Amino acid sequence: MKKIFSLVLILALIFAMTACGQTIQKETNTTGNTEASPVTEVAESTQEDESATVSESTTPGIEEEPVMKAEFDFETKTVMLNSGYEMPINGLGTYSLHGDECINAVKSALSSGVRLIDTASAYGNEVEIGQAIREAIDEGIIQREDIFVITKIYPGSEMENPEQSIQACLDRLNIGYVDMMLLHHPDANDVEAYKAMEQFVADGKIRSIGLSNWYVEELTEFLPQVDTVPALVQNEIHPYYQENDVIPFIQDLGIVVQGWYPLGGRGHTAELLGDPVISEIAEAHNVSSAQVILRWNLQKSVVVIPGSSNPDHIKENTELYHFSLTEEEMERINDLDRGEKHDWY
Ligand SMILES: NC(=O)c1ccc[n+]([C@@H]2O[C@H](COP(=O)([O-])OP(=O)(O)OC[C@H]3O[C@@H](n4cnc5c(N)ncnc54)[C@H](OP(=O)(O)O)[C@@H]3O)[C@@H](O)[C@H]2O)c1
């Protein structure tokens, strides 16, 4: 009897343990079936979605970040750069301005509301630009934070010794930080020079960096070699040299485009400003030819930096927001393209 009882007890225990084991196993399976699998599916589909988004909109050679085309804000007259800083969309170019003429032009521009000044080491006027800015600050016309100063380092010896050249620009300007520094042209040492600019950004001495005279081929080769997507590319753009293939290429990378020689450059302005199509459009809006050309650039999301030493022209070149060109007028100006470069680079 005792033996039969023991046998029944052992069988009962075995049954209980087996049943219990099945329950644990079942729970594991249940968890596996109802949570793990869908999570895996979700994870896979999320990954697919993300890679789809990224592949649709990433920079060739720089694949991590989705890219957004920068929009111009015509109320604030600024654009948000991919570096996180706002830049004014109209400014003053200072190529060929020197001495008192340069100081007066910059101060006149700042008094007229211009908040973007473009210079370069090669222009040989950074000292005057810095002096004009410091004087304007002292006279209460502006504060340093209100303005955006661009300078550039040049190919050859400057890009061979980029740290020294960058520091020399900062010293000549002597306005604390520089808002934007560009490589003036492609060069054998451009990647190293760009990396030096990246280091100055990390050190807080430069806020944003970019390139000048880089076109589709040059950008395609350059971008995979650097970590920071340029905030700006500054190239020759005017109605006779429109770069209609280059501009969208750059903008689709989330890089802002700025046009140099917006009025055709010295020696060419008379022909461009006197162009019958531009003159006719100007008359229709009761503005000048220069204003029409500058407005045409802005409506193509191209930042303008017309050069001038004439206070009336400087002021006129800021008055670009009280009229707009129709699609038909934009098209008529687009039709003026001749692919005619007004400088060698
Ligand atoms: N990254 C590069 O490689 C590069 C190359 C060239 C230039 N840039 C930059 O681009 C800027 C612009 O180029 P730029 O100054 O040589 O040429 P621009 O702006 O095309 O033309 C300047 C000429 O236009 C005249 N002008 C300006 N506003 C006018 C107006 N409202 N009505 C009539 N005439 C007017 C100026 O004369 P007044 O003085 O009499 O007004 C000057 O002679 C340069 O200053 C420089 O900052 C960069």
Each residue's pLDDT, cut to its tens digit, for the chain (345 residues) gives 444 444 444 444 444 444 333 333 333 333 333 333 333 333 333 333 333 333 344 445 555 556 888 999 999 999 999 999 999 999 999 999 999 999 999 999 999 999 999 999 999 999 999 999 999 999 999 999 999 999 999 999 999 999 999 999 999 999 999 999 999 999 999 999 999 999 999 999 999 999 999 999 999 999 999 999 999 999 999 999 999 999 999 999 999 999 999 999 999 999 999 999 999 999 999 999 999 999 999 999 999 999 999 999 999 999 999 999 999 999 999 999 999 999 987
Q: Which of 308, 316, 320 to mutate to test the pocket of ligand 1 (most atoms within 8 A of CB)?
A: 308
Judge contact between 310 and 108, C-beta under 8 A: no
DSSP string, 14-28: HHHHHHHHHHHHHHH
Measured CA to CA, the distance from residue 215 to residue 223 in angstroms comes to 12
Residue 317 CB less than 6 A away from ligand 1: yes
pTM: 0.84
Catalytic-role residue among 123, 194, 215, 261: 123
Strand 78-80 to strand 72-73: parallel, antiparallel, or no bridges (unpaired)? antiparallel
Q: Tell me, yes or no, if 85 is annotated catalytic.
A: no
CATH 3.20.20.100 fits 72-334, yes or no: yes
Which tokens go with 194? 């760009």
Residue 297 CB less than 6 A away from ligand 1: no
Give the residue among 173, 169, 150 at the shortest CA–CA distance from 159. Answer: 169
The atom of ligand 1 lying closest to the CA of 261 is 20
Helix, strand, coil percent content, the chain, rounded in steps of 5 = 50, 15, 35
The atom of ligand 1 lying closest to the CA of 273 is 33
Cα 80 to Cα 84, 85, 298, 336: the distances in Å are: 6, 6, 14, 30
Judge contact between 214 and 313, C-beta under 8 A: no
Q: How many C-beta atoms surround the C-beta of residue 187 within 10 A?
A: 17
| Cα 323 to ligand 1 centre (Å) | 22
Judge contact between 265 and 289, C-beta under 8 A: no
Measured CA to CA, the distance from residue 122 to residue 144 in angstroms comes to 23
Judge contact between 50 and 37, C-beta under 8 A: no
Whose CA is closest to atom 47 on ligand 1? 93
Which tokens go with 172? 């000549």
| Cα 194 to ligand 1 centre (Å) | 27
Give the residue among 217, 238, 143, 228 at the shortest CA–CA distance from 194. Answer: 228
Residue 310 CB less than 6 A away from ligand 1: yes
